[in-house]
Chains A and B, each alone.
Chain A
């Protein structure tokens, strides 16, 4: 009844339950953090804009200025941020195109300001981009050390693409 194996089993079960409880509590504690991130996105330049294989494609240079330090808690492993262009076309109710992304590994690097050209191709399904207004949005995904993942976004500037290819 109280053999060695039996005790080992009880000990293992108990420690696993405690570990699971601690993980659960760590994840739950994230709910008490009320972040106040600030973001500024600006389109600086349209590098080129053309139509290829029937699809419009554009290359942009934009600036990202963000302070995401308040998103970090003790249970945060890293934050994945990306800038997406979002717009509507007659065919599609929503087009979301990630233009740039990055991984913020620590709180110290969560306040940054950069100027980049789009890392992924900004290509439409069709040729609807001339004169098209779109929203630049900063999204973030908080990846925890353990437990629930959080995501949110800030929609910033609306920008209008040029009326002609260049």
Chain B
């Protein structure tokens, strides 16, 4: 009896330890992803350092599913730059090019007009009702880098949530079944 009891105990203790170490490694993966994201936020100064292009308004430069790296510095905004901006009352930020800039002499405040490369007219129709210009606080960042196709992963995941759960499940399974 003593012998059998010992083995059961050892098996139990091993499982608990293994379970704990797996939980820790899973936690490590999640937290390191979070650390990388927050570090990127600090370095780029933008609240979302990476955005996925969702529309074709900047084609053929940026297609749907491409990703852009943003940078937000204190440098003044100039014509030609590709900026990401938020309109009041709209949830999804827009990535378009600046075509007009008027910068105040006394305050340094800017009036900016944008346009999508593939759109016929400027963006005044997209702005809030009666809004003629974008100001500094609308702008989340300017695009500095570009990577094609990578954004399709997130587009597919948001449009087909099942794929997301399958993927998360598979990854979780992989972490739990791995033994080192």
A interface list, Cβ under 8 A from B: 1, 3, 5-6, 9, 23, 27, 77-78, 80, 82, 84, 90-98, 101, 103, 105, 120, 125, 139, 141, 143-149, 151, 153
Bound-complex Cα distance A149 to B145 (A): 6
Partner of A120, one of B103, B111, B122, B178: B122
Please give, as numbers and ranges, the residues of chain B lying within 8 Å of A1 by CB-CB distance. 178-180
Please give, as numbers and ranges, the residues of chain B lying within 8 Å of A151 by CB-CB distance. 80-81
Bound-complex Cα distance A62 to B71 (A): 35
Bound-complex Cα distance A6 to B100 (A): 53
Say whether A92 contacts B148, CB under 8 Å: no
Please give, as numbers and ranges, the residues of chain A lying within 8 Å of B178 by CB-CB distance. 1, 6
Q: A23-B147, A149-B143 are in contact. Are A97 and B60 (CB under 8 A)?
A: no
Partner of A105, one of B60, B102, B180: B60
Kindly count the residue-residue contacts between A and B in the assembled complex, taking CB atoms under 8 Å apart.
92
Bound-complex Cα distance A3 to B76 (A): 54
Partner of B102, one of A27, A82, A92, A103: A92
Q: List 9 A-B contacts (CB under 8 A).
A: A1-B178, A5-B173, A80-B61, A82-B79, A82-B99, A95-B101, A97-B99, A98-B100, A147-B147
Interface size on B, as a range, is 20 to 34
Please give, as numbers and ranges, the residues of chain A lying within 8 Å of B80 by CB-CB distance. 80, 82, 84, 98, 139, 141, 151, 153
Name the CB-closest residue of B to A93. Answer: B105
Interface residue SS majority, chain A: strand
B14 CB–A CB distance under 8 Å: no
Bound-complex Cα distance A141 to B148 (A): 17
Give the shortest distance, in Å, between B124 (CB) and chain A (any CB): 11
Q: A144-B146, A148-B144, A149-B145 are in contact. Are A9 and B174 (CB under 8 A)?
A: yes
Please give, as numbers and ranges, the residues of chain B lying within 8 Å of A148 by CB-CB distance. 144-146
B129 CB–A CB distance under 8 Å: no
Partner of B105, one of A82, A91, A147: A91
